[in-house]
Amino acid sequence: MKKITITTDVHNGKIKRNRNLVLETIQSFEGKTIILTIEKAGKKRSNNQNAYYFGVLIPILKSCIKDSWGEVWSSERCHEFCKMQFNFYEKVNEDTGEILRLPKSTTENTTTTQEDFHHEIRNFLKEWFEFDAPLPNEEITLNF
C-alpha cells in the first residue's frame, strides 16, 4: 500500500500550491481504488518542545536506564526507543495480517502530538522508574 502526503493551500475553493503534484499523484493510481483524506495542517512541534525533549526527557531516561537497568544508552538510542514505544504507526501486511510497528519522525509531529508524546514518556518514567519528570517550564533542580 502506497501512502503519499502532499501539503497545499486552498484559496477561494482552489488548490494554490502543489496543484500539479496533487493531480499527478492521483493519476499514478489509475485503475485503483483510493482513499482521499483531507485534513487541516497543524502547527509543527516547537523549538521549545524539541529542547525540552532532548534537554530534559532524554537525559532523565538515560539516567533512569543506567541506574535501574545498569545499561548505558546514548541519546540517539533513547530517542529511537521513545519513537518505537510512543510515536509510531502500524503497517499491516494485507496478505498475512501481520502488523509492523514503525517509528514516526518527531519532526512530523504537531505541537499537540508532540505534547502527547512527552506525556507518554513522562508516564513511562513514572511507571517503570518511579520518576516524576518535570513538566515544561517547571523549575526544579535535577541531580544526576
H or E segment to which residue 74 belongs: none
Measure the CA angle with vertex 135, ends 76 and 52; round to 5°: 35
User: Cα(87)–Cα(79) distance, rounded to whole angstroms?
Assistant: 10
Mean pLDDT, all residues of the chain: 91
Predicted confidence (pLDDT) per residue in 80-111, tens digit: 999 999 999 999 998 999 999 999 999 889 99
Q: How far apart are CA 136 and CA 144, in angstroms?
A: 19
**Structural domain boundaries in the chain:** 1-41, 47-129
How far apart are alpha carbons 141 and 65 in whole angstroms? 19
Pairing of strands 10-11, 14-15: antiparallel
Distances, alpha carbon 33 to alpha carbons 2, 3, 40, in Å: 12, 13, 23
pLDDT tens digits, one per residue of 10-33: 889 888 888 899 899 889 989 988
Q: What is the pTM of this model?
A: 0.68
8 Å CB contact between 113 and 49: no
